[in-house]
Amino acid sequence: MTVTCAAGAGLDAIRRSLYAQASGLRANDFADCNLSTWIGRVDGVERVPIAPSMRDYECRNNRLALLGLEQDGFAARVASVRKRFGAERVACVLGTSTAGIEQSEQAYRQPEHSNRFGSRLAHNPHTSTRFVAETLGLAGPVMTISTACSSSAKVFASAARLIDAGLADAAVVGGVDSLCLSVLHGFNSLELVSQQPCRPFDRDRNGLNLGEAAGFAVLESDPSNSIGRLLGWGETSDAWHMAAPHPEGRGAISAMQTALASAGLEPAEVDHINCHGTATPMNDRIEAGALRHVFGTPPPAVSTKAWTGHTLGAAGIVESVFSLLAITDQRIPASLNCVEPERDWSDFILRQARPASVRIVLSNSFGFGGSNCSLLFGAP
Amino acid sequence: MSIKIDILGVGISAPGIPDWNGLRAVLDGEPLSSEHELPQTSLLSPRERRRAPATVRLSFAAAEQACAMAEISPDRPAAVFSSAMGDAELADYMCRTLAECSQPLSPTRFHNSVHNAAAGYWSIGTGAFADVTAVSGWNDSAVAGLIEASTRAATGSGPVLLVVYDDYGQGPLTRVWPVRQPFSAALLISAPSTKNHSLAHLALRASNARNQHPDLPAALLERMADNPAARLLPLLALLAGTGPAAITMAAECGSGLHIEKIRA
* Mean pLDDT within B210-231: 97
B109 min Cα distance to partner chain A (Å): 9
Answer CATH for A2-378 from 3.90.950.10, 3.40.640.10, 3.40.47.10, 3.40.718.10: 3.40.47.10
Q: Residue B171, by phi and psi: left (phi above 0), alpha (psi -120 to 50) or beta?
A: left
Domain limits of chain A?
2-378
Of the residues B83, B147, B177, B204, the best mutation for testing chain A's interface (the one with the most A CB atoms within 10 Å of its CB) is B147
Domain limits of chain B?
9-197
Question: Do the Cβ atoms of A144 and B135 come closer than 8 Å?
Answer: yes
> What is d(CA A324, CA A367) in angstroms, rounded to the nearest whole number?
22
Compare CB distances from A181 to B98, B151, B154 and report the shortest one's residue. B98
Question: Is residue A115 over pLDDT 80?
Answer: no
Interface touch B130/A237, C-beta < 8 Å: yes
Percent of chain A scoring above 70 in pLDDT = 98
Read off the pLDDT of residues A19-71 as tens digits, 9 standing for 90 and up.
999 999 999 999 999 999 999 999 999 999 999 999 999 999 999 999 999 99
- pLDDT band for position B244 (cuts 50, 70, 90): confident
Read off the pLDDT of residues B110-137 as tens digits, 9 standing for 90 and up.
999 999 999 999 999 999 999 999 999 9
> What is d(CA A287, CA B65) in angstroms, rounded to the nearest whole number?
36
Q: Which of A80-94, A293-307, B89-103 has the lowest mean pLDDT?
A: B89-103
> What is d(CA A283, CA A289) in angstroms, rounded to the nearest whole number?
10
> Coil, strand, or helix at residue B190?
strand
Interface touch B84/A126, C-beta < 8 Å: yes
Read off the pLDDT of residues A15-26 as tens digits, 9 standing for 90 and up.
999 999 999 999
Interface touch A148/B1, C-beta < 8 Å: no
Q: What's the complex ipTM?
A: 0.97
> What is d(CA B228, CA B145) in angstroms, rounded to the nearest whole number?
12
pLDDT at residue number A223: 78
> Under CATH, which number does the domain B9-197 receive?
3.40.47.10
Interface touch A371/B86, C-beta < 8 Å: no
Question: Is residue A111 over pLDDT 90?
Answer: no
Percent of chain B scoring above 90 in pLDDT = 90
Amino acid at A195: Q
Question: For A40, phi and psi rounded to 5 degrees?
Answer: -105, 75
| Bridge pairing between strands A170-177 and A272-274 | unpaired
H or E element, residue A157: helix A151-164
Read off the pLDDT of residues B192-207 as tens digits, 9 standing for 90 and up.
987 778 999 999 999 9
pLDDT at residue number B87: 95
Sequence-ordered list of residues with C-beta below 8 angstroms from that of A370, at least 6 positions apart, any chain:
A237, A238, A239, A240, A241, A242, A245, A246, A251, B120, B123, B124
* Mean pLDDT within B65-87: 97
Helix pair angle (B141-155, A151-164), 10° resolution: 70
- pLDDT band for position A114 (cuts 50, 70, 90): low
* Mean pLDDT within A183-202: 97
Compare CB distances from B254 to A118, A122, A141 and report the shortest one's residue. A141
> What is d(CA A38, CA A44) in angstroms, rounded to the nearest whole number?
18
